[in-house]
Amino acid sequence: MKFPVITRRFTVLLAALALLLGIPAAAAHADSATSGTGWIRLAHLSPNTPAVDVYLYSFGNSDAQIVLHHVAYGTVSPYEAVQAGDYSVAMRAAGASATSAPVLSASVTVKADHAYTVAGMGPESGLRLQVMDDTLTTPAGKSLVRVINASLKDQTVKVTCGGQAIVPKSAFGTVSSYVTIPGGTWTMAAIGGSGTATERFTMAAGTVHTMVALDGANGLELVNLEDAAGAGKPPLGSAATGFGGTAGHGPGSPLPWVALIAAGTLLAMTGGLRLRRSGLRGLRTGH
Amino acid sequence: MALFRRPAAIIVAAGLVVIVAGTLGLLLTRHSVAAVLPPKPGVGALPAPTGPIVAPPQSSDPVAVASPVSLTIPLIGVKTRLITLGLQSNGTLQVPSTVTVAGWYTGSPRPGAIGSAIIVGHVDNYRGDGIFFRLDTLSRGDKVYVQRADGTTVMFLVTRVQKYLKNEFPTAAVYGPTPDAELRLITCGGTFDSTTGHYLSNIVVYATEAG
């Protein structure tokens, strides 16, 4: 009965290894090798948490697909295109060994044509990784904006767009849903107890934004993240981009040539008739 | 030759000439014409543009990028200035009026900014090949460069090449929003319908800014 023991030990070892690498529930779901690509970006939005190294693992692969070193508070990576499927994100203290136990990890299922933000949120004591399903598409002619409050100093902020409150109460460590605004250049303000951050941003029609309220050196700061952009006015359907000069084709229609022959015949016959008639006339008047 | 002084005789002669021309025309066009196939990639390749390549945009603090002025695809020998294109009155994409240049749709993001920049070119005209004649020979990983008005260059890598029937054109996938800087190169392909004078399909090259 040695065999099962060995197997059990091996399983425990494997589970420990998986845990160590920040791959939760390694054996639980072995599905989804979905096709297509999605996008993922990584962010550090926890004000009192020191810089971290962020790792992205494709499910079942202990070699990190992306490693971002020394990611400090307020940093948001660009979107990375990844194969649709399951991933895990692990955060380790900056400079910690890649094989050390992560401080925090979370799993993300990336669907084709979807974009995700994975952000370290909250205070250091309650640090968590939040996975956000980001929106790419706007209603026609509109822009979308949502708010993340990442300010520890101002636990509640109000965000206004052109003087109008779009998110009246944004609590620390939370993300609002997207709000539709008309496309254009807007004065955006984050208003907190300790002060106000005001910026002018271009929010063109067809673009999606995330406004992040951060603790700056001198009070609140407002950062504009561009989540996605599309054509303000997308074209309809296909494009007519060829005339066939290099295309293969069968024999052209014989009709024009047949018509030409018919016209020639008609002409010849007309001429022939006139010739006969004038010939006869000539005979008659010739003498 | 007194006969030919008569107008009626001239008419008969003209009729006969027309009959002969029609018969010749008919006989000479009774064969099929094979398609002109683009040469393999690499044939007639151009050097990549020199100078620094700018980095892809960050998602924070999006900066305005300069408008595109030219397009280079070394592998298939494409080097062209880019004209600007809008929409036609029926809402479809305008196309360049000549086959020797490609055009950028001004309603799409500028190449290198977040979103899908749309560039369109002809595969051919009535007689021969156009600027995007060899577009469908591109494959994943091939490089596409766009030079911009401020002298900067952005490099894109082809991610996939698709052929779509025009009546099943996936508008959302081709023109839709993206969270990163992408490029769409569009031309015609597939079967040519000589009764309508149009190709039945579009070739779409998807590319993403390298970084």
**Measured distance CA(A152)–CA(A48) in Å, rounded:** 8
* B175 token code pair: 């023109």
* B125 token code pair: 């005209």
Q: Is B193 exposed, middle or buried (0-12, 13-18, 19+ CB in 10 A)?
A: middle
How, if at all, do strands A142-150 and A104-110 pair? unpaired
- What does each of the 211 residues of chain B score in pLDDT, given as a tens digit? 555 667 888 888 888 998 998 888 888 777 666 677 777 666 677 888 877 777 776 655 556 789 999 999 999 999 999 999 999 998 888 999 889 999 999 999 999 999 999 999 998 887 788 899 999 999 999 999 999 999 999 999 999 999 999 999 998 889 889 999 999 999 998 888 888 888 889 999 999 998 7
**Measured distance CA(B147)–CA(B202) in Å, rounded:** 25
User: Helix, strand or coil for residue B192?
Assistant: strand
* A234 token code pair: 């997308």
CA-closest candidate to residue A52, choices A95, A99, A21, A116: A95
**Measured distance CA(A62)–CA(A78) in Å, rounded:** 23
Q: CB distance A228–B108 less than 8 Å?
A: no
Alpha-carbon distance A187 to nearest alpha carbon in chain B (angstroms): 15
Per-residue model confidence (pLDDT) at position B63: 65
**Measured distance CA(B16)–CA(B21) in Å, rounded:** 9
Residue B7's region, left for phi above 0, alpha for psi from -120 to 50, else beta, is: alpha
CA A67, A72, A198: angle at the middle one, nearest 5?
Answer: 130
Tens-digit pLDDT profile for residues A19-40: 444 444 333 333 333 478 999 9
Check if B54 contacts A (Cβ < 8 Å): no
**Measured distance CA(A27)–CA(B141) in Å, rounded:** 34
Per-residue model confidence (pLDDT) at position A120: 95
Per-residue model confidence (pLDDT) at position B119: 96
Per-residue model confidence (pLDDT) at position A85: 95
**Measured distance CA(A102)–CA(A83) in Å, rounded:** 24
Per-residue model confidence (pLDDT) at position B164: 93
CA B140, B144, B148: angle at the middle one, nearest 5?
Answer: 155
Tens-digit pLDDT profile for residues A111-160: 999 999 999 999 999 999 999 999 999 998 899 999 999 999 999 999 99
CA-closest candidate to residue A272, choices B1, B2, B3: B3
How, if at all, do strands A219-229 and B68-73 pair? unpaired
Nearest chain B residue to A250 by CA distance is B32
Per-residue model confidence (pLDDT) at position A234: 82
**Measured distance CA(B141)–CA(A95) in Å, rounded:** 33
Hey, of B58, B60, B127, B185, which one would you mutate to test binding to chain A, going by the most A CBs within 10 A of its CB? B60
Give the residue ranges of chain A where pLDDT is below 70. Answer: 1-34, 249-252, 279-287
Residues of chain B with C-beta less than 8 angstroms from the C-beta of A259: 22
CA A229, A232, A237: angle at the middle one, nearest 5?
Answer: 105
Length of chain A: 287
Q: Which helix (H) or strand (E) holds A10?
A: helix A2-20
Alpha-carbon distance A136 to nearest alpha carbon in chain B (angstroms): 6
User: Helix, strand or coil for residue A266?
Assistant: helix
Q: Model pTM?
A: 0.75
Task: Give me the residues paired with residue B103 across strands.
Answer: B83, B120
Q: State the Cα torsion A224-A227-A232-A237 to the nearest 10°.
A: 170
Residue recorded with tokens 């822009």: A143
Residue of B26, B29, B36 with shortest CB distance to A246? B36
Nearest chain B residue to A233 by CA distance is B107
- Reported ipTM: 0.73
Per-residue model confidence (pLDDT) at position A156: 95
